[in-house]
Amino acid sequence: MLIVQKYGGTSVGGLDRIANVAERVARAKKEGNDLVVVVSAMSGETNKLIEYASYFSKTPSRREMDMLLSSGERVTAALLAIALEEMGVPAIAMTGRQAGIRTDASHTFARIEEIDPAAIQDEIKNGKVIVVAGFQGINEHGQVTTLGRGGSDLSAVAVAGALHADACEIYSDVDGVYTTDPRIEPKAKKMDFISYDEMLELASLGAKVLQSRSVELAKKLGVKIVAKSSFSEAEGTIIAKEQEGMEEVLVSGIALDKNQARVTLRKVVDRPGIAAEIFTVLANEQINVDMIIQNASSDGMTNMGFTIPQSELERAKKVIGGFNKDIGGMDFDENVCKVSVVGVGMRSHSGVAALAFSTLAKNNINIEMISTSEIKVSMIINEKYGELAVRTLHDAYQLDK
């Protein structure tokens, strides 16, 4: 078998843990498999590098951020290859570029466009374990790019797809995908199986056990993912195509995203094209806008509210500042979070959203914004009630049963 394994930050969070990963890899190799191992930076490393940059600038160049952030994964890739060699397992570490990972030009959240697997395939033929530095690639101008936070998951799925691997195993500190973050709700239940679509919603709504783009790509390429723990031998969760009978599960999980900020623009001059202009400059800055609300206008003025990732707030302030002629005033609230209920069964059942709203109401939690799709209900609330909301919703939908 050809197996792609990905080890996240906690799994390579120290030298002893890298040694543990080396043992697991060596074991899979001895069982007769070919292995490509994708690694993250040591846990906390990427955040530390971001903080270093913020010492100098609130809005550092995205290109330089990629130069900086891609270094964390190189360190662990090389260390794991050294550890494997020392155990008598031939290994070679590769950067994203060396592994043939080509991306578009969007620094700090580049999309993978193509993988040229030739170099990896050559080294597999030489009998080596290939250790790929996750989270990074190269664009057509030869510049290093990174793939967005949690992006090593995407590296792993893309490599698995390009190599037509027999398995794509993603190892972290949890032994699978749970009905909600088990750190918030200890009663959360592990799922044996979850469909791409539900996982995609959970992941894009904050369940960071898998990066949402990796799930999107897995669905597109038909790569079956198994989410497992590097600290145990437990079975894990399979993420694959929806199966017959799944519609019977009404709600499969609750997600919490604390990386949210709300922007409110007051007294916006209400003329055709104003929304287009504002959201175009945000898009040009590659700021991902979510949950837009515009009030009915009065006296030719309107109010607009929307949410963005908290980490993009400084950039957003800078570009919206350019509209001061058209906007009466603006507020920014970082103390919000998004709590979401996800399930494919919502397509065919009513009352799911109503139960979410009444559950929060019973707990005196005010809902500031709402958005829904076929298979999710998301609510923006005050950040301090985020975890309470997760637990009470988990109870209300009886996810512990």
Q: Residue 60 or 182: which CB sits closer to ligand ADP?
A: 182
Q: What does 313 interact with, of Mg ion, ligand ADP, ligand ASP, none (CB < 5 to 8 A by kind)?
A: none
Tell me how far apart the alpha carbons of residues 315 and 61 are, in angstroms, rounded to a whole number.
11
Work out how close the CB of 151 gets to ligand ASP at its nearest, in angstroms, rounded to a whole number. 5
- H helix or E strand, kind and range, residue 300: none
Tell me how far apart the alpha carbons of residues 287 and 309 are, in angstroms, rounded to a whole number.
8
Work out whether 103 is an interface residue with ligand ASP (CB under 6 A).
no
Span near ligand ASP by CB under 6 A; candidates 54-62, 88-96, 137-145, 149-157: 149-157
Render the burial of 355-391: b for 16+ CB within 10 Å, e for the rest: bbeebbeeeebeebbebeeebbbbbbbebebbbbbbb
Tell me how far apart the alpha carbons of residues 155 and 257 are, in angstroms, rounded to a whole number.
23
Q: What does 175 interact with, of ligand ASP, ligand ADP, Mg ion, none (CB < 5 to 8 A by kind)?
A: none
Percent helix, strand, coil in the chain (nearest 5)?
35, 30, 35
Site residues for Mg ion, 146-185, by CB under 5 A, read 150
Work out how close the CB of 364 gets to ligand ASP at its nearest, in angstroms, rounded to a whole number. 35
Tell me how far apart the alpha carbons of residues 7 and 50 are, in angstroms, rounded to a whole number.
21
Of 96, 100, 137, 151, which lies in the binding site for ligand ASP, with binding defined by CB under 6 A?
151
Work out how close the CB of 138 gets to ligand ASP at its nearest, in angstroms, rounded to a whole number. 16
Q: Residue 112 or 327: which CB sits closer to ligand ADP?
A: 112
Of 4, 9, 198, 261, which lies in the binding site for ligand ASP, with binding defined by CB under 6 A?
9
Work out how close the CB of 181 gets to ligand ADP at its nearest, in angstroms, rounded to a whole number. 3
Work out whether 40 is an interface residue with ligand ASP (CB under 6 A).
yes
Work out whether 236 is an interface residue with ligand ASP (CB under 6 A).
no
Work out how close the CB of 6 gets to ligand ADP at its nearest, in angstroms, rounded to a whole number. 8
Work out whether 17 is an interface residue with ligand ASP (CB under 6 A).
no
The beta-strand segments (E) located in 95-184 are 101-103, 112-115, 129-133, 136-138, 144-146, 167-172
Structure tokens at 145: 């790019």
**3-state class of 326 per DSSP?**
coil
The beta-strand segments (E) located in 21-166 are 34-39, 91-94, 101-103, 112-115, 129-133, 136-138, 144-146
Q: What does 174 interact with, of ligand ASP, Mg ion, ligand ADP, none (CB < 5 to 8 A by kind)?
A: ligand ADP
Among 174, 176, 180, 130, CA closest to 155: 130
| C-alpha distance from residue 397 to each of 203, 248, 312 (Å) | 19, 14, 33
What is the binding site for ligand ADP (CB under 6 A)? Answer: 8-11, 40, 43, 150, 172-174, 177-178, 180-183, 202, 207-209, 253
Work out how close the CB of 9 gets to ligand ADP at its nearest, in angstroms, rounded to a whole number. 4
Site residues for ligand ASP, 283-312, by CB under 6 A, read none
Work out how close the CB of 208 gets to ligand ASP at its nearest, in angstroms, rounded to a whole number. 9
Work out whether 134 is an interface residue with ligand ASP (CB under 6 A).
yes
Work out how close the CB of 93 gets to ligand ASP at its nearest, in angstroms, rounded to a whole number. 16
The residue count for the chain: 401
> With 0-12 CB in 10 A as exposed, 13-18 as middle and 19+ as buried, what is 227?
buried
Tell me how far apart the alpha carbons of residues 310 and 253 are, in angstroms, rounded to a whole number.
23
Q: Residue 182 or 309: which CB sits closer to ligand ADP?
A: 182
Q: What does 134 interact with, of ligand ADP, Mg ion, ligand ASP, none (CB < 5 to 8 A by kind)?
A: ligand ASP
Backbone angles phi, psi at 58, to 5 degrees: -80, -25
Interface residue list for ligand ASP (CB under 6 A):
8-9, 40-41, 46, 72, 134-135, 149-153
Contacts to Mg ion by CB under 5 A: 8, 150
